[in-house]
Amino acid sequence: MIFEVLTLFPRMIEGPASESILGKAAQRGLVEVRVRDIRDHAHDKHHVTDDVPYGGGAGMVMKPEPLVEAIEAAKAAMDGPCRVVLLDPGGRTFTQAVAREYRDVGRLILVCGRYEGFDERIRSFADEELSVGDFVLTGGELAALCVVDACSRLVPGVLGNVESAGIESFEEGLLEYPQYTRPPDFRGMKVPEVLLSGDHAKIARWRRKHALLRTKEKRPDLFSRLELGKADRALLDEA
């Protein structure tokens, strides 16, 4: 999968993209994270990418010329169809389902805003707008990294355990079940006996039950959208 991140602060992307699972995936050729400095597409000697807003007001606005040229250059560099995504609080909300959708697209250009936002005319050069949540960031770089990370781990071969991506939170609309590791007794808090039993059927049943219970307790909004089968309803009735 190929990502190209358009930003005024390339090092904010380059560092995280070279570490841990993302870095290993890049080394193995499974994921490529390119970074394009928007300032390289400004034609004045000071590489200015922002200006004061028409009509007055606080802050600065990102200029259309350098950013649009950066988008066009990134699209030209892609080997095949791609999707241009503007990181913006007005966009659709990023979810696990969107991550899977983007993984299937295979090529993304992620445009990071700064200051008071984009010149409105820039929006017509993007395919869509995306928000990672109802909160304010200083720029789109952290949001872009969320997208890169969430999509990359869905690429076959990126995760060491092929089952990991399929059993984690949100994959089935459920939060993940509780996890434990050694020691079996930590300050009087013991690992549930069923997890030590070696009975894989009982363990699977326990995990499913507690994933349902955890989702019902912590994310009732998710739980209300679940289509529960007879087996799941029976597990909840046991609680």
Name the residue range of residue 202's domain. 169-238
Is there a single domain that holds both residue 23 and residue 93?
A: yes
**pLDDT band at residue 164 using 50, 70 and 90 as cut-offs:** low
Residue 164: inside a domain, yes or no?
no
Question: Does 210 reside within a domain?
Answer: yes
Burial of 151 (0-12, 13-18, 19+ CB in 10 A): buried
* Listed residue (31, 28, 37) closest to 148, CA to CA: 31
Neighbours of 73 (CB within 10 A): 15
Could you report the per-residue pLDDT of 97-155, keeping only the tens digit for each?
999 999 999 999 999 999 889 999 999 999 999 999 999 999 999 999 999 999 999 99
Average pLDDT, the chain: 94
Q: Do 18 and 86 fall into the same domain?
A: yes
211-220 pLDDT tens trace = 999 999 999 9
**Measuring CA to CA, how many Å separate 102 from each of 3, 107, 108, 156, 224?**
10, 8, 7, 14, 26
In a domain, 20, yes or no: yes
Do residue 87 and residue 203 come from a single domain?
Answer: no
Rg (CA), the chain: 22
**Structurally, how many domains does the chain consist of?**
2
| Residues of each annotated binding site | 113, 132-137
On whether residue 69 sits in a domain, the answer given is yes
- Is position 225 within any domain? yes
What's the pLDDT at 172?
81
Give alpha helix (H) positions in 83-229. Answer: 96-105, 141-152, 164-167, 193-196, 200-218, 220-223
- Model confidence at 202, in pLDDT bands (50, 70, 90)? very high
pTM over 0.85: yes
DSSP, collapsed to helix, strand or coil, labels residue 225 as: coil
Same domain, 97 and 132: yes
Q: Which helix (H) or strand (E) holds 63?
A: none
Render pLDDT for 5-50 as a digit per residue (tens, 0 to 9). Answer: 999 999 999 999 999 999 999 999 999 999 999 999 999 999 999 9
- Is 224 inside any structural domain? yes
For the domain that residue 214 is a member of, what is the CATH number? 1.10.1270.20
Residue 160 in domain: no
Annotation: binding site for S-adenosyl-L-methionine = 113, 132-137
**What pLDDT is stored for residue 77 in this prediction?**
97
Specify if 187 maps to a domain. Answer: yes
What average pLDDT does this structure show over 155-175? 75
* CATH code for position 56: 3.40.1280.10
